[in-house]
Each structure stands twice: as C-alpha cells, then as structure tokens.
Amino acid sequence: MGRTPFVALLTLALAGCAPRATIVVASKNFTEQVVLGEILAQHIERHLNVEVDRKLNLGGTLLAHQALISGQIDLYPEYSGTALTAILKMDPMDDPDAVEEAVRREYRARWDVEWRPGLGFNNAFAMVVRCEQARRENLRTLSDAARRPVPWRLGVGYEFVQRPDGLARLQAAYGLPLDGRPVDMDLGLLYRAVQQGQVDMAAGNATDGVIEALGLCVLDDDRRHFLPYRAAVAVRAEALSTHEGLRTALAALEGRIGEDAMRRMNAAVDGGKRPVAEVAREFLATL
Amino acid sequence: MTPAEIWRLTVEHAALTGAALGIAAGLGLPGGVAMARSVRTRGIFLGAAGVVQTIPSLALFGFLIPLPFIGGIGKGTAIVALALYALLPVLRNTVTGILGVDPAVRESAVAMGMTQAQLLWQVELPLAARTILAGIRIATVTTIGTATIAAAIGGGGLGVFIFRGLASVDTAQILAGAIPAAAMALLAEGGLTWAERRLSPY
C-alpha cells in the first residue's frame, strides 16, 4: 500500500473526530457525587456541542483532585470544607463565605482551577442515631447527646478521624461520653451498623439519602461546630477557555440544587434503587 | 501515624491474615481431600467457592452485618470474609494436587496392600504437597493484600491507613499502609516458596 491512501485515510479519520471536542466530567465514588456528576454531564451534553466522557467513580478526594490538576479530568464537584482542610491543608474557619473565598483564591493560584459558586446545598458532617432511640431518650441536639448518662458507642467514617474539624473538634465542642475508642469504618456499612444496633451513633453526611431510608435521625449541631461543606464545581480554567459556553452552562446550575432536593435524589438512588441517569434527567427537567 | 501505630496495625494485619488462612486451610485441606474422591461434591463446592470470590467485599460485608455469631462489625466479620476469599485457592490446589497423582502409582500402592489412609498419607499427600503448598502460598499473598478491606468493617489492620489516606488526600498515610503490606506479602511469598521446595519430594 502506497503512502497516499494511508495519509488520506488518517486525515479522514482525524477530520471525523475534530469537531466533537471532549469534556471529561468526574465525581468521587459515593452516591451524591455520582448523581452530581451525572447531572453535570447531562447538562453539558444538552447545552454544548461536545462529547462528555464520564469518570464517575474515582476512589476518593485524593484521586479526583490529582486527576483534575494533572488535566486527566476537566471538572468534578467538591465541597468547600473538604477543599479547605483535606486538599489545601488549611486551618478550619467558621464563616462559610470566608471558606469559599479562601478556596477560590488558592485553587486559582496553585493549579489554575476555578472554584465555581456553590451549587446550592451544604453537605456538612452530621451525627446520626436511630430515630426510635432519639424519641425514647428525648434527644434532639448534640448537647442533649452530651448529657446522656450511658456512654455512646460511636462509629465514624475514615475521614472523620483525620479531619481537623472531625472527631477532635467535635469532642472539644461537646465532650460526648464515649464507650471506648470509636470504630472507624466504611460509611455505607456504618449506617447499616447503626440501624442494626451494632453502634449507637455515627458521624455521617447531612445529605445522605440512606439516613432517612434506614430510619436514622440527625442530631442538631446546636453549637454550630461543623465546618461548612458547600458543594461547588471545580473546573480547569483551560477547559473554560477552550469550550465556549461551558461557563454559562455551569452558571445555570449554580444555586439551583437545594439540600432537600439533593437528599431526595440520594434517597431515590440509595433507597429507591432508581438509576442515576433517570434521577438526574428528572431533576434537570424541573429547572 | 506514629511508628507505634504502624507497628500495632501491622501486627493486627498479620493476625487477621493468619486467622483467615487458618480457617481457610482448616476447611480447605480436608475439604479438598474429600472432594478429590467425589466428582459431584467437587462441582458443587468449587463452584460455590468460585462464586464467593466474585462478590465484592463491601457487598459481602453488607450481607454479613445483620447475621448473628459470624456477622456484625469488627474483626470477626472481617476474618469470616477473608477466609471465604482464601478458600478457593486452597481447595482447588488440594483437589488438583491429589487428582494429579499418577494412577499407576496409586494402583501399585493399592496392589501392595495399602489401606485408604495409608494411600492418602504416604502416597497422595506427599506427591501433591507442592501443588497444595502453592495453593496456600497464593491464598496467603492475596489475603495479605485483601486484608486491607477489614478496615471497611471496623476490623483494623493496615487498610486503616490506606482508606484514611485516600479519604483525606494524604499520600504519606497511604504509604504507611501500603509499604508494610507489600513487605509482608513479599516475605510470605519468599518464605512459602522456600517451604515448598523443602517439603516437596522432587
């Protein structure tokens, strides 16, 4: 075979994919992240003439962040408190706006990544107990829980042990009586363990749909101790400048996903076993 | 992440692995010998052990949490799951090793007047030793790796570092779990390979 047909073929092949650029949308590997990732992906597909490549199950903050700053993905949803303490390793701050401002400044300066305005909800840590127990013992707030005469068997997710705003700060604020060292384990399994009475209290996330589905209740953080975890999209500045319309498309979602909406979508996927793509499509239809 | 904590979790990791392998070998070796005698049980049990291998660990833990005695959270459940995962290589290699004994050798042993027990202990097991040990070696090395999932059910071990590190963007923490686990796996691989050579008649 001569060279000409080969070159012609190659040109044809390249020309074939040229007009459809690709945006890589990612998320971490838990329900809410996957739902948000899918919402972003469908929304971008609808508003931009691009191929969307979904990487919706990256194993944790570290992997998602590394993928973002190395340019393997273009955007993923992240939480302000997580960005501040886990990624930027900065000290916790109380004011939600100050947290967001600091994160936005540092992301831009360090990695040329834009921290978009919040999507509209705050997924803070939340201490959950069995609703039945909360009713029986008349517990509504974490201060109530601190006064309980019987020590708590506490279970926590991996992040909670490490985070500067996690276990240590919780105990400094409330001083819950604990029965031995807290068990640290996978959060999904932990909710089940609370439901089954293997532990009495768990540190979970406020918008997890499974909380309601398993008959668990959140105790109110009455001393406002937990950091804000406002969800927002972290997107590479390069992707924003390459893909015209991406900024506008993202802006259309910002401030539109409330806490209740998020919890309902999480519950629909976790408890209701509905497909993520369907839940995302229904939500986008309500906008 | 102090040296003391690394040491404590490494010991815990070794204990989880050891307990799981003890159970897997305790069930798998006699089980494999029995299955080598019967085609039907072989199909059923090897099939079942194979199916267990395909269940993702978190799903398996989810099933185990509500169960009495073997379930719940903590080390017990982790050991049950790890033992289930380790069972297949032990079973399969025991069966393969015994079935691999030359029929002519077996026949001459019977012709010499050996009982079934003598046949097993003096002919089949020594000849199958290398394959059986290889199964235990594979089970050991993979269990050292998979034992990191014990952390997901509050069972401790080096997985605690790995999962914490992944959750909090801390590479040093991940390495504090991964390096001792890798070292342990290499050590086990080396030691058991040596034992295989020593114990096999070839």
Task: Give the range of the structural domain holding residue B194, as residue numbers without chain letter.
Answer: 3-199
Q: Do B151 and A184 touch (CB under 8 A)?
A: yes
Q: What CATH number is attached to the domain comprising B128? A: 1.10.3720.10
CB atoms within 10 A of CB A153: 18
pLDDT at residue B55, as a whole number: 92
Q: Do B171 and A162 touch (CB under 8 A)?
A: no
pLDDT digits (tens, 9 = 90+) for B3-45: 999 999 999 999 999 999 999 999 999 999 999 988 888 989 9
Identical fold, A20-122+230-286 and A125-219: yes
For A189, the closest chain B residue by CA position comes to B62
CA distance A25 to A34: 10
Domain A125-219 belongs in CATH node 3.40.190.120: yes
pLDDT at residue A6, as a whole number: 52
pLDDT at residue A162, as a whole number: 75
pLDDT at residue A2, as a whole number: 47
Q: Do A196 and B66 touch (CB under 8 A)?
A: yes
Contacts of B4 (CB under 8 A, 6+ apart): none
pLDDT digits (tens, 9 = 90+) for B64-82: 888 888 888 889 999 999 9
Place of tokens 């949490």: B65
Q: What is the 3-state secondary structure (H, E, C) of B1-52?
A: CCHHHHHHHHHHHHHHHHHHHHHHHHHHHHHHHHHHHCHHHHHHHHHHHHHH
Residue numbers in A near B153 (CB within 8 A): 185-186, 189
Task: Look up residue A203 and give its two tokens.
Answer: 């540190």
Q: Do A162 and B154 touch (CB under 8 A)?
A: no
Q: Do A158 and B65 touch (CB under 8 A)?
A: no
Q: Find the mean pLDDT for residues A144-152.
A: 94
Interface of A with B in 70-89 (CB under 8 A): 86-87
Task: Look up residue B175 and give its two tokens.
Answer: 């390495």
- Do residues B174 and B162 lie in contact, with contact meaning Cβ atoms separated by under 8 Å? yes
Q: Find the mean pLDDT for residues A219-237.
A: 91
Residue numbers in B near A198 (CB within 8 A): 65, 72-73
Q: How does residue B201 score in pLDDT terms, banded at 50, 70 and 90?
A: low
CA B87, B89, B90, B92: dihedral to nearest 10 degrees?
Answer: 110
CA distance B10 to B14: 6
Greater confidence (A137 vs A20) lies with A137
pLDDT at residue B200, as a whole number: 67
Could you give the 3-state DSSP secondary structure of residue A78? strand
pLDDT digits (tens, 9 = 90+) for B117-147: 999 999 999 999 999 999 999 999 999 999 9
Contacts of A193 (CB under 8 A, 6+ apart): A155, A183, A185, A199, A202, B65, B72, B73, B154
pLDDT at residue B62, as a whole number: 85
For B170, the closest chain A residue by CA position comes to A62
Contacts of A188 (CB under 8 A, 6+ apart): A30, A210, B58, B62
Which of the residue ranges A194-198, A210-214, B99-103 would you say has the lowest mean pLDDT? A210-214
- Do residues A152 and A201 lie in contact, with contact meaning Cβ atoms separated by under 8 Å? yes
- CA B116 to chain A, closest CA, distance in angstroms equals 48
**What is the CATH number assigned to the segment(s) A20-122+230-286?**
3.40.190.10
pLDDT at residue A17, as a whole number: 46
Structural domain spans, chain A: 20-122+230-286, 125-219
Domain count along chain B:
1
- CA B168 to chain A, closest CA, distance in angstroms equals 5
Q: How does residue B202 score in pLDDT terms, banded at 50, 70 and 90?
A: low
pLDDT digits (tens, 9 = 90+) for A38-63: 999 999 999 998 999 999 989 888 88
For B78, the closest chain A residue by CA position comes to A185
Task: Look up residue A276 and give its two tokens.
Answer: 């993520």
Q: Find the mean pLDDT for residues B162-174.
A: 84
CA distance A144 to A215: 20
For β-strands A154-156 and A75-79, DSSP reports them as unpaired
Closest CA to A202 of A184, A214, A177: A184
Residue type, B8: R
Q: Do A185 and B153 touch (CB under 8 A)?
A: yes
Contacts of A146 (CB under 8 A, 6+ apart): A174, A175, A176, A177
Q: Is the pLDDT of residue A203 over 60?
A: yes
Could you give the 3-state DSSP secondary structure of residue A53? strand
- Give chain B's mean pLDDT: 92
- Give chain A's mean pLDDT: 89
pLDDT at residue A226, as a whole number: 84
Closest CA to A170 of A137, A144, A203: A203
Task: Look up residue B142 and give its two tokens.
Answer: 């993979």
Q: How does residue A16 score in pLDDT terms, banded at 50, 70 and 90?
A: very low
Phi, psi of A198 (to 5 degrees): -75, -30
pLDDT at residue B188, as a whole number: 95
pLDDT digits (tens, 9 = 90+) for A86-120: 899 998 887 889 999 999 999 999 999 999 999 99
- Do residues B122 and B77 lie in contact, with contact meaning Cβ atoms separated by under 8 Å? no
Q: Do B153 and A61 touch (CB under 8 A)?
A: no
- CA A200 to chain B, closest CA, distance in angstroms equals 13
Residues of B with CB under 8 A from a CB of A: 58, 61-62, 65-66, 72-74, 151-155, 160, 163-171, 173-174
